[in-house]
Amino acid sequence: MATNFLQIKLLGRSLRLVFLLTATILLSACISSQPYPTGVSVVQPIPTPPVRAPKVGQEWVYNIRNVFNQEVVDVVTERIVSVGEQIRIQRVGAKAGPLPDEIQGPWGYVIQDPHWTPPQQFVKPVPLWPEQLSAGWKLFYTTGYQVLGYPDGTYYWSANLSANQWELMKTPAGEFLTLQFHNQIPSFQSNDIFRIGNTRDEELWFSPEIGRWVIRRSFGRYVTNGVYWGNAYWEDYLQWELVSWK
């Protein structure tokens, strides 16, 4: 009897495993995730291309896709509206409407960053792309940030930037010479007191010609009390793909 019971129990576990695997395969067949961007590797350009200087009226339009299912969740237009000690980039979504501005100062260093949720204001400007446009360049930095509109609290932030290689990358806007780099935020403090562990990660393909990325692929994970990293919650997993620029 005990042997039969054990066999039935093991059979039940096996059937449950088969069901889960089958469901996963069927789901994958029905919902295809956004493929990882692939470009053509090229050698370090000599001389290094200069980054386009900011001017009022410069504009970038991006399709924003959900990486899990390829759905276009919005089309965002970013436009430089003022240039001086600070550079202000106005942003609007076709669906979301007006979005928080991005503020740089100097060019290439962000002060107000609306990319993550909630938008951040850094204690000091931090680099948006590699300070040296050279494969192998790396930087680790720590700083603090405040949540936009809530100046009473300051939170810890750290990031690893690493430039990987030069690539020719195609998007609906054309083909671009890009420096592919990785931006890893291994640990930061959230303004949400229920989040006890946080990490973010992104891959970017930066084009000096346009002064911005042609693809940006970002996600975040976090845990709350009693939740392990194996079951960590997801923030949005989105890919920005350049549609047009001027």
Question: What pTM was estimated for this model as a whole?
Answer: 0.86
Give residue 32's pLDDT: 85
| Contact (CB, 8 A) for 239 and 64 | yes
Amino acid at the residue 34: Q
Report the pLDDT averaged over residues 33-51: 96
- Percentage of the chain beyond pLDDT 70 is 87
Neighbours of 96 (CB within 10 A): 13
Q: Which CATH class is domain 40-245?
A: mainly beta
C-alpha to C-alpha distance for 229 and 221, rounded to whole angstroms: 8
The structural domains of the chain, with segments of one domain joined by +, span: 1-30, 40-245
- Can you tell me the distance from the alpha carbon of 221 to that of 213, in angstroms, rounded to the nearest whole number? 23
* Per-residue pLDDT tens over the stretch 196-213: 999 999 999 999 999 999
